[in-house]
Structure 1
């Protein structure tokens, strides 16, 4: 009999407890764990291999550190030998506890709590660097620093960081914390050539490291961050300022009490006097900074041969010391017309100030900057014998004045330049365009920001002595770039050559006839103008410069062989009574050049370059855009080849269209090589700048 009771539904199959997302997440987790275990295994193997290959402790104590570099002049004299100095090796128990505490506080606060690599410190440094957009904070532990100092280079790349971490882990497994600290404090570099705390203490304080006070230890601990910047031998005040930070960090870390920190008197600290340094160190410091880009050799001792001539360097030093006014500083750069730097003085006394005013200082150029105004004008078609009018002129709300407050009326361009007439310089700058003048300065190697207001013609822009000297040398070279260089060869002490200077393909900056006419103007400055004190018994061309209220004095000039520039002024930009470009700077320049050119045959300066009858000569074809035989030159809208010297294209010629044949007997028009044309040829972008400034009054 059939039952009428309802049939119970068949239970459905149980659904999976995990959806596709959960399954994917689990798969990723498993893969991550597997990769993590594999990486841990590989790291353990790498650390074990590194441990097995580590030298013994005694060997690490004896291994050398640092690199010796010897810098020589072109005539073979040793200018400076830079290298490591070492003190006594101090066992851990001989190291003052205050030195250990200072170093741990400032370099690795969690030193006793990590295995060689500090994940917390690394993460903190990473966050800070991301927030500040750079490498504001480092995450290396003391052990990592020791590994880098002993086994690796300072190259900034991920491979080196990974090797550093592996070696740090191996060092921690092989040696105790006390041994690592002992190695570190006896091996780390503290600036001034000193390796280890004992060498640093003897160099900076005149006694061994076992006698270090809290203040002295704070200075030494603060040097590790940037030895060359904070070393007392370089800048005592920066060293003290850094030490005050170290004292505060020690108190914050609990290494000293707040009362001990308050009682520390860093300002009363006295440093040991440093050996007298010759002023050639301005040059060798510059050379050593350039050396880093020429070779990556960091172990073998190096011999660096330079372009400097010992006799010229001594003459430059004497000239600056003898003529720089009291309370002011002076600088001199001299170079051959190919750019080889023969002498460099960055200040009156290297010991009292290591700041190199020849390579680093930026000061208004005064009338020395007029070089670029007149180069642009000559290129635009102005002739040295053209007549202009020295008269009151206004440019908006500004009216340039001559230094003597007088106006002379009609005069030639040559006379205006020789007497450094301000009104005519500004008129010329307006004629060619202020951007054109700025572009001319860029073309000649001026990299500083250039004012593009009317007063720029009088030298309101800051310029650099090395770059300005190079610009004048380029004029002396006939308009061909004279790029400064100082290193001719780098070898190891065993004779292996690492670098040899090779002359670059010369760049023509202006046409030879422009350079010749510029030389004519510069020669007039010395013959009859503001630079008469530069006369040395042979042909000389040059230009004086003086800024407002006699704050800066310049003289830049050249003979057929050597170009040199002199700047004088105060570092604080205060007025120097009686300073003018035509006085002390020119006198120092002349004293130097008499020695520098002694024994050299007198060369006539090139002041007149005639264009060939058929236009441009073959050597300059590629510069001026003239195409060699067999190639197809571009044509204008009338089908006439561009650059054909038989065609008149000068818009100033009356009654002639742009494509009509040149009348019989009429010379070819001189090319107008404006900034845009040469920039296109030279394929170098010209940076733009803006700015203003009050005009300097400069007859010198």
Structure 2
């Protein structure tokens, strides 16, 4: 018995203890792993089904080969003349075996180094991009493979949304499922956009090197491969230096990936580029106008015709005026608006091929004294008029002492003269009196969109702005103070004539009272007829203003005549001084040369400069006291109070006081019932006889309190 008991005890002791159930974080970790595994498997299953379905839905290789992925746009002037045709040039389709190996290798090296090993999406590249986003600048780096780029070019748009990226990935894997790597690369090289309207390597090769893609050299292939990232930036016809630098990067990557022998020496700068015929200045206008189609039209890829506001004759005249008058080493820009805001001509620089930067719409430069438009409008709105007396004397405002362009001072003059001769001291005092914030507000009201400083020197145009915005402001003055919105597209039609869009006249807003617009037009006309803008005269009424910045870095002239408003800017892109550049010289001369042509078929129009001032400016502030003398009490010659409607002595003056002509009566208070003493108080008697009538208000002396640097005229 003892032995049996000991055996049982030993058996019991030999049993392993049961595992304790998982608790706490271990339990949650296990659940997370299981859940993650299940979700991943389901996700992979769903992805596989999506890719399989997409692959079945894809067009065949032959169908993709025949598909065009871009839109043809014919651009017409306002008279219907064709001025430009934009759209795809596909060249000849190059089969995979005909494409030079260096071209294939260059594209793989720079766009997708793991092209031959990934399934359409590069897991390594995606993981690296996410790591950079998590540890770097929080932005996911570019991870699109060649297959993804092809899927986007063929089937999607360029919207940067998560939904688009997911669809792009699925379609890329579907392409890899359905086609071989060679077929995908062949489609890509024949479809990708290389800039200048060139789609595919054959079109690009013919455009940049004047020969088919089958003859591409290693250096030429590197240049073309480098274009995909940014076609306009790296285009050899736009910037040879950047194109060569980019090509050097492509060659370095090819050597690192052992796609060419490290000993191979290639000099992309020695590549002979095709001589591109000079493109005329109309491209400045189309570069500004055509992007607006994205807002005006529904998404479409069918061929369209765009009818613009551009006048072909005026555009040629503008190009000639700028090229003939712009000082050597400087750039010139011009924009001309019709009375409704239609852009009639636009020059963004002296040579579009040399630089396509549009200085008429994109450059922000100081406008100099042309900015005084807003200073004087604010003063006119505050109560000044062209005949108001001001003082052209030395003045210091918050430590800033502006000087006139000529260095002298005229003493007491009127507002018209101060504006015509661009007196900086007067502008500073007016801006100080009405308030620099008020001047800034006036500029905002007239369409200035760039930041505006409120330091005292702002009255002389130290805040940078765009030429098209300044021209728009002057056009609003020409329109009697009503807002003007520049536009460049009249209508858009299909190739068959169906109207897709037609411009509708924008509702205008009265920005300033008409008397302010008339007053500033008076000043602007005087500035051209006798002041700093005399070089802008064209043999008919012209209103405008010159502008010159410190050290002659910028020259401005903006003005209008016969319903056309034109702005001209000249200066250097590096903001260096231009010897002899003043707004009253080259810019005004270019304005005159252009406007003589622009208005030649328009009737001569006289400006409305008649100031119909509001009543508050015509009478003293207590005008409301005055009324019909028959309704007043008055005092006769013996000092007796006469009731309203009583007889008057004909010898009395028009106010019934017998006093000086033109002195008006004040209302007589009625005596209170039971009131004793004299019939009227001494104060009332004094006012009734004219002793208390205040003089007409005159512009108050201008205080001196503000601004830093004095641009010129």
**2:194 and 2:231 in contact (8 A); partners too:** yes
2:142 to 138, 142, 148: 138
Residue 630 of structure 2: aligned partner: none
- How does 1:522-541 map onto structure 2 within 5 Å? 522-541=524-543
Matched residue, 1:372: 374
* Per-residue deviation, 1:134: 6.6
Of 140-149 and 395-404, the range deviating more from structure 2: 395-404
Contact 1:391 / 1:407 at 8 angstroms: preserved in 2? yes
State how far apart, in whole Å, the 2-side matches of 1:59 and 1:396 are.
Answer: 74
The partner residue of 1:477 within 467, 479, 482 is 479
Q: Which residue matches 1:78?
A: 82
**Aligned with residue 448 of structure 2, among 446, 449, 457:** 446
Question: Which of residues 197, 202, 214 is equivalent to 1:193?
Answer: 197
Deviation, structure 1 residue 543: 0.3
Could you give the per-residue CA deviations for residues 326-375 of structure 1, whole angstroms, max 9, x where no partner exists? 33221110112322111111122222222211111222111111111112
Deviation of 1:611 (Å): 5.1
Q: Check 1:692–1:496 CA distance in 2 against 1; reply closer, same or farther (3 A cut).
A: farther
* In structure 2, C-alpha distance between the alignment counterparts of 1:474 and 1:347, rounded to whole Å: 25
Secondary structure of 1:603 counterpart: coil
User: Is 2:35 aligned against 1:69?
Assistant: no
Which residue, 546, 550, 554 being the options, matches 2:548?
Answer: 546
| Larger CA deviation: 175-184 vs 580-589 | 580-589
In structure 2, what is the equivalent of residue 606 of structure 1? 608
CA–CA distance in structure 2, aligned partners of residues 593 and 308 of structure 1: 15
Whole-Å separation in 1 of the counterparts to 2:255 and 2:408? 68
CA 1:253/1:667 → structure 2, altered by over 3 Å: closer, same or farther?
Answer: farther
For the structure 1 residues 69 and 667, does the alpha-carbon distance in structure 2 shift closer, same or farther, using more than 3 Å as the test?
A: farther
Q: Deviation string for 1:535-563 (max 9, x for gaps)?
A: 22322210011122322211101124111
Q: Which of the residues 312, 320, 335 maps onto 1:318?
A: 320
Do the aligned residues in 2 keep the contact of 1:337 with 1:473 (CA within 8 Å)? yes
**Is this contact kept in 1: 2:440–2:454, CA < 8 A?**
yes
1:320 and 1:136 mapped to 2: Cα distance? 45
Write out the 4+ residue segments of structure 1 that deviate beyond 6 Å after TM superposition: 8-13, 612-615, 664-670
2:119 aligned with 1:104, yes or no? Answer: no
Structure 1 pair 430–613 and aligned structure 2 pair: CA distance change class (3 A): closer
Distance (Å, rounded) in 1 between the aligned partners of 2:695 and 2:161 = 63
Give the alignment partner of residue 170 of structure 2, picking from 156, 166, 188. 166
Give the whole-Å Cα distance in 1 for the aligned partners of 2:707 and 2:171. Answer: 56
Q: Is the 8 A contact 2:562 2:602 kept in 1?
A: no
CA distance in 2, matches of 1:428, 1:613: 23
Aligned positions of 1:592-631 closer than 5 A: 592-610=594-612
Which residue of structure 1 lines up, in the alignment, with residue 407 of structure 2? 405
- Indicate if the aligned counterparts of 2:482 and 2:512 stay in contact, CA closer than 8 A: yes
User: What aligned pairs does 1:170-249 form with structure 2 within 5 A after superposition?
Assistant: 170-249=174-253
Q: Is the 8 A contact 1:460 1:693 kept in 2?
A: no
Question: Secondary structure at the residue paired with 1:229?
Answer: coil
Which residue in the other structure is 2:516 paired with? 514
1:502 and 2:504 are equivalent in the alignment: yes
The superposition leaves residues 668-690 of structure 1 with CA deviations (integer Å, 9 ceiling, x where unpaired) of: 999xxxxxxxxxxxxxxxxxxxx
Distance in 2 (CA, whole Å) between partners of 1:468 and 1:94 is: 55
Q: State the partner residue of 1:272.
A: 274
Task: Name the residue aligned to 2:289.
Answer: 287
Q: What TM-score results when the alignment is normalised by the length of structure 2?
A: 0.82
Distance in 2 of aligned mates of 1:426 and 1:385? 18
Secondary structure at the residue paired with 1:66?
A: coil
**Contact 2:335–2:360 (CA under 8 A) maintained in structure 1:** yes
Specify the alignment match of 1:47 in structure 2.
Answer: 51
Alignment-derived partner of residue 710 in structure 2? 695
Q: 1:330 to 1:131 in 2, by over 3 A?
A: farther
For residues 132 and 695 of structure 1, what CA distance do their matches in structure 2 show? Answer: 46
In the superposition, relative to structure 1, how do residues 12 and 226 fare at CA in structure 2: closer, same or farther (>3 Å)?
closer
Indicate how the Cα distance of structure 1 residues 134 and 102 shifts in structure 2: closer, same or farther if over 3 A, else same.
farther
CA displacement, residues 371-393 of structure 1 (integer Å, 9 cap, x when unaligned): 11112222222221111111122
In the alignment, what sits opposite 1:383? 385
What is the match of residue 647 of structure 2? none
> Conserved in 2, the CA contact under 8 Å of 1:476 and 1:560?
no
Do 1:144 and 1:165's aligned partners in 2 also have CA atoms closer than 8 Å?
A: yes
User: Residue 388 and residue 161 in structure 1: after superposition, are their counterparts in 2 closer, same or farther (change >3 A)?
Assistant: same
CA change 1:96–1:13 in 2 (3 A) is: closer
Residue in 2 aligned with 1:91? 95
1:11-26 aligned at under 5 Å gives the runs 16-19=20-23, 21-26=25-30
1:253 counterpart (243, 253, 257): 257
* Counterparts of 1:692 and 1:223, CA distance in 2: 49
Alpha-carbon distance between aligned partners in 2 of 1:133 and 1:25, rounded to the nearest angstrom: 31
- Structure 1 counterpart of 2:153, from 144, 149, 168: 149
Give the secondary structure class of the aligned counterpart of 2:172. helix
Once the two structures are TM-superposed, the CA of residue 470 in structure 1 deviates from its matched residue by 0.5
Give the aligned partner of residue 590 of structure 1. Answer: 592
Looking at structure 2, the residues matched to 667 and 295 of structure 1 have their Cα atoms a distance apart, in angstroms, of 62
Contact 1:79/1:284 (<8 A) preserved: no
Does the 8 Å CA contact 1:337/1:563 hold for their aligned counterparts? yes
The 1:695–1:240 alpha-carbon spacing in structure 2 relative to 1, beyond 3 Å, is farther
Contact 1:153 1:298 in 2 (8 A): no
* Structure of higher CA gyration radius: 2
Which whole-Å CA distance do the structure 1 matches of 2:256 and 2:350 have between them?
43
Distance in 2, Cα, partners of 1:41 & 1:199: 42
Distance change (3 Å), C-alpha of 1:209 and 1:588: same
- Alignment of structure 1 residues 414-493 onto 2, 5 Å: 414-493=416-495
Deviation at 1:613, TM superposition (A): 6.6
Q: Does 1:301 align with 2:303?
A: yes
Bigger shift: residues 473-482 or 17-26: 17-26
Offset at residue 28 of structure 1 (A):
4.1
| Distance in structure 2 (CA, Å) of the matches to 1:532 and 1:495 | 48
Inter-CA distance 27–254: structure 2 relative to 1 (3 Å threshold): same
Secondary structure of 1:58's match? Answer: helix
CA distance in 2, matches of 1:135, 1:79: 42
SS state of the match for residue 232, structure 2? helix
Name the CA distance, whole Å, in 2 between partners of 1:370 and 1:134: 46
1:60 to 52, 61, 64: 64
CA distance in 1, matches of 2:526, 2:43: 76
Note the C-alpha offset of 1:453.
2.2
The 2-side partners of 1:135 and 1:98 are apart by 33
Mapped partners of 2:296, 2:131: distance in 1 = 34
- Scaled by the length of structure 1, what TM-score is found? 0.83
Q: Any stretches of 5+ residues in structure 1 without a counterpart?
A: 616-654, 657-663, 671-690
Residue of structure 2 equivalent to 1:675: none
Aligned equivalents of 1:326, 1:432: Cα separation in 2: 41
Q: Does the CA contact (< 8 Å) of 2:485 and 2:506 recur in 1? A: no
Give me the whole-angstrom Cα distance separating, in 2, the residues matched to 1:594 and 1:217: 50
Return the offset for 1:415. Answer: 0.2
**Alignment partner, residue 631 of structure 1:** none
Provide the rounded CA distance (Å) in 1 between the counterparts of 2:407 and 2:287: 44
